[in-house]
Amino acid sequence: MEEMSALVYKQSQLLQEGSGTMQGNYQYENARCQLLNWYAFDEEEVIAEGKIASTDPRVRVHHMPLGRDCWKVWVEAISVPNVNVYRATDEV
């Protein structure tokens, strides 16, 4: 299983409501989600599917805090490989 910081999410049960600013939206944690291609502005291209691990902006991914409006997700299936991530690190 691969860990990836949130790109842009699309969740089938809930419409995009934002991640909250200073606190996590814990109602979303463990929910299934689809990750969209961050750089495809004309269409919603699903590039991966997974589960939301955390919506807390203080959570760290690869030693970097996520920050506002970013979510930590567990990627379970990749449908489009080699796509640039929203916020790259040395590990990703």
Q: Is residue 87 part of a domain?
A: no
Q: Is residue 91 part of a domain?
A: no
40 pLDDT exceeds 90?
A: no
> Which of 38-42, 64-68, 78-82 shows the lowest per-residue confidence on average (mean pLDDT)?
38-42
User: Beta strands 32-36 and 9-10: pairing type?
Assistant: antiparallel
Total structural domains within the chain: 1
Give the pLDDT confidence score for residue 23 in this predicted structure: 55
Q: Is residue 67 part of a domain?
A: yes
Determine the 3-state secondary structure of 26 from DSSP. helix
Q: Is residue 13 part of a domain?
A: yes
**68 phi, psi to nearest 5 deg:** -60, 135
pLDDT band at residue 24 using 50, 70 and 90 as cut-offs? low
Segment 23-28 mean pLDDT? 68
Q: Is residue 84 part of a domain?
A: no
Q: Is residue 83 part of a domain?
A: no
pLDDT band at residue 87 using 50, 70 and 90 as cut-offs? confident
Boundaries of domain holding 63: 2-78
pTM above 0.85, yes or no: no
